[in-house]
Structure 1
Amino acid sequence: MSDAKARILEEVRAYHGTDEREFVPGQTGVWPSGAVFDAEDRVALVEAALDMRIAAGVSSRRFEREFARFFGLRKAHLTNSGSSANLLALSAFTSPQLEDRRLRPGDEVITVAAGFPTTVNPIIQNGLVPVFVDVELGTYNTTPELIAEAIGPRTRAVMIAHALGNPFAVEEVARLAEERELFLIEDNCDAVGSTYRGRLTGTFGDVATTSFYPAHHIAMGEGGCVLSDDLVLARIVESMRDWGRDCWCEPGEDNRCFKRFEYQMGTLPKGYDHKYIFSHVGYNLKSTDLQAALGLSQLRKLPDFGAARRANWRQLYEALDGVPGLILPRATEDSDPSWFGFALTVAPDARFTREGLVSFLESRRIGTRRFFAGNLTRHPAYLDSPHRISGSLANSDLIAEHTFWVGVYPGLTERMVGYLAESVRDYVVKNS
């Protein structure tokens, strides 16, 4: 490292922390989510910038290896967002390389109505039909029984997210999918570090996805990842991410396979340059080394971040347990969530309303968020989209009316969480 670079990085370390402020109740924001960075994160990002690593390169490949190792899986492919990861994960199952197993337009994919659009949009974008099922109150996840009831003659896959970091019964769902010959796409964007029966979520599905948006468990600014133990699926994901090309050379490589000018594919002439043969209708959804360098620094903190999320969630639960008119969240049986947020549902017969409670919290600079879409089937974007509803969506409707969530992310201190809980209790006492 040059002397000039070393001096710059030392200045970056010194600069970190100069903006720290004391928490002042009612003035300092208690946000529902956010990234938590330390001096080494700043240094990692600046060092990548100084080296002008502006495309995917050595840091991206290293992050993919280390992230796959964290999950105990063979492959991880870094993307520019969690939404792109979801698109790639589902699109992989439409690949002609899967032959008779591939998903085709009109096939059905089971998902939940009370979720985020990016779990559902890839289904529609691939000409498939989402089949919406309901969720439980408390866990905010669907159940294997509801999924089983939703399976029809054209059902070919299940694509579901772990709700606010709380695992659904993913082992049972994976078993059901295997028995019924369905693909399982596990949206793990909100649940990195969560476990079900001692096993990390993100390791049960045929593929899994994660997000590195600042709200999530580790942050790159933007970014996501597709994980799989299936080398065929992983190769398809890589191809679709990288323009749809058939070549697997890394950037800057020209002939890893030693037969770059010997392939004959499609109706192209024999010897057509393999770097410009396309086996999929793909995209450019790669990330950059700037993001990956930050991600590598963040990845080392993932266990501590998970511990902080769990501690903040427990503090909130203990403080609000027994408060009348509120339905508190609960972990799925046999799970240990690395919580994304703390869901609160105002009971329909409560003497106060969700709107009133949210307004009160926001007036105290406590940030709140709705439980994502509440019920996606009621949104303008999906009213005219082909879909099927299995059974009742009564709980999804109730969530749309009565549920919101507050933060537990590692940037919240014990004092902040205490102020949040105290504010909820104050409002309920005054309005009951």
Structure 2
Amino acid sequence: MIPINKPILGKEEIKAVAKVIESGALTNPAPEGGSVCRAFEQELASYCNAKHAVACNSGTAALQMALMAAGVGPGDEVIVPSFTFVATASSVLLVGARPVFVDIDPDTYNMDPEQFRRAITPRTKAVVPVDLYGLPAAMDEIKEIARQSGIIVIEDACQAQGASYKGKMAGTLGDMGCFSFYPGKVMTTGEGGAVITDDDELAERLRRIRTHGQVKGYDSVMLGGNFRMTEMAAAMGRVQLKRLPGFLSARERNATLLLEMLDGSDLKLPEVPDGFRHNWYLFTAKCKTNKERESLKSSLLEAGFGVAVYYPIPLHRIPVLVEYSNHSLRISEEAAETVLSLPVNPVISYVNLEMMTNKIINHIKFKK
């Protein structure tokens, strides 16, 4: 099976992790983290052209930490898109706030700025636009709307490391930006995440929050948790970050080839607006109907191509969140019924792309 995504690890990552294990310093409970974690943070911040990177143990932790640092809590509302992974909304619940779901742009699958504007109430404290599939959201419009109402912007860039928007790196487009380094992402630390910010005060709060609100130790001055990144994960991350440009180049090459190969097919192909740069974490096409999507998905899986649906149920319809929405979000619901993600990761070959394309085109023709 050709996977939709997979971690790409080698001897250098193994050597870096083994060095940490041999040292015995596997983690560090200080707010500033261990020496390997600090080095990773400095290199990540430099890569993003940002002032601060605060590493943690998952993308979900990054989102929760950012919300906590922003002072979001009970009684507050946080506006989020419905068409995304559950962590975008569950992190809001974890800090005691209420998620407010809005619909998406049908071409980019990202938050529709006008829907964000309409959802604002006096209780709105933050907005979390998602850079879905690795394409940044329309951040200029979202930030301007947020500025007018004094709303904090937390960019969910968990899928978008290496992408950019009008020359600025994903993760740096809001007051804070959140990354995930889950094994399926464009780079990995095994499990891990980070919050990016240029704000000194927020960075200090984030470092305290990730280790129980402590300043020096056993002196918690605010609520926090154990959100620390281990030294082993940071060691892996340092190596992966060096390899990231090569990973992204391969993804862009494969996505460009697939766009050319599928041009003229009945599928709605991904669109990248002017001024945006996609990282091609996921290449997501759209079928005309759910029946067509499910048939094509089954055919490709049977042929050994690890296609997947992200996401089959919009968040306002999943059991744990359904109570927070009593209205339809038509575009999100339609996308959940019809999108299909195809592999463009660095391990797929030109021959594989040709075979997958032929399978898609022949299947669609046969089913007409």
TM range (shorter): over 0.9
Instruction: In structure 2, give the amino acid aligned to 1:362.
Output: L
Residues 70-98 of structure 1 show CA distances to partners (whole Å, capped at 9, x for unaligned) of 1122211111111111111112122xxxx
2:19 match: secondary structure: helix
Aligned residues: 363
Q: What is the aligned counterpart of 1:163 among 132, 141, 150?
A: 132
Aligned to 1:250: none
Q: What is the aligned counterpart of 2:123 among 148, 154, 161?
A: 154
Larger Rg computed on CA atoms:
1
> Would you say the 8 A contact 1:117–1:373 is kept in 2?
no
Aligned to 2:202: 233
Deviation at 1:291, TM superposition (A): 0.9
> Would you say the 8 A contact 1:115–1:374 is kept in 2?
no
> Would you say the 8 A contact 1:216–1:340 is kept in 2?
yes
Tell me, in whole angstroms, the C-alpha distance in 2 between the residues paired with 1:372 and 1:50: 41
Instruction: In structure 2, give the amino acid aligned to 1:223.
Output: G
> Would you say the 8 A contact 1:138–1:328 is kept in 2?
no
Mapping of residues 32-181 of structure 1, within 5 Å: 32-56=4-28, 57-94=34-71, 103-181=72-150
Structure 1: which 5+ runs fail to align? 1-28, 95-102, 248-274
Instruction: In structure 2, give the amino acid aligned to 1:197.
Output: K
Instruction: In structure 1, give the amino acid aligned to 2:316.
Output: T
Deviation at 1:388, TM superposition (A): 6.9
Aligned to 1:199: 168
Instruction: In structure 2, give the amino acid aligned to 1:168.
Output: A
- Please say if 1:346 is aligned against 2:287: yes
Identity %: 32
- Please say if 1:361 is aligned against 2:297: no
Tell me, in whole angstroms, the C-alpha distance in 2 between the residues paired with 1:32 and 1:317: 16
1:164 match: secondary structure: helix
Tell me, in whole angstroms, the C-alpha distance in 1 between the residues paired with 2:116 and 2:317: 21
Aligned to 1:416: 352
CA-based RMSD of the aligned residues comes to 1.7
Could you state the TM-score of these two structures normalised by the residue count of structure 1?
0.80
Deviation at 1:416, TM superposition (A): 2.1
Aligned to 1:402: 338
Instruction: In structure 1, give the amino acid aligned to 2:39.
Output: R
Instruction: In structure 1, give the amino acid aligned to 2:144.
Output: R
- Please say if 1:279 is aligned against 2:221: yes
Instruction: In structure 2, give the amino acid aligned to 1:353.
Output: E
Tell me, in whole angstroms, the C-alpha distance in 1 between the residues paired with 2:69 and 2:86: 19
- Please say if 1:336 is aligned against 2:268: no
Tell me, in whole angstroms, the C-alpha distance in 2 between the residues paired with 1:104 and 1:37: 39
Aligned to 1:302: 244
Runs of 4+ in 1 over 3 A off after TM superposition: 386-389
Instruction: In structure 2, give the amino acid aligned to 1:181.
Output: G
1:398 match: secondary structure: helix
Instruction: In structure 2, give the amino acid aligned to 1:330.
Output: E
> Would you say the 8 A contact 2:49–2:169 is kept in 1?
no
Instruction: In structure 2, give the amino acid aligned to 1:301.
Output: R
Tell me, in whole angstroms, the C-alpha distance in 2 between the residues paired with 1:333 and 1:145: 20
Structure 2: which 5+ runs fail to align? 29-33
Distance 1:127 1:316, change over 3 A: same
Tell me, in whole angstroms, the C-alpha distance in 2 between the residues paired with 1:333 and 1:169: 11
Tell me, in whole angstroms, the C-alpha distance in 2 between the residues paired with 1:203 and 1:104: 23
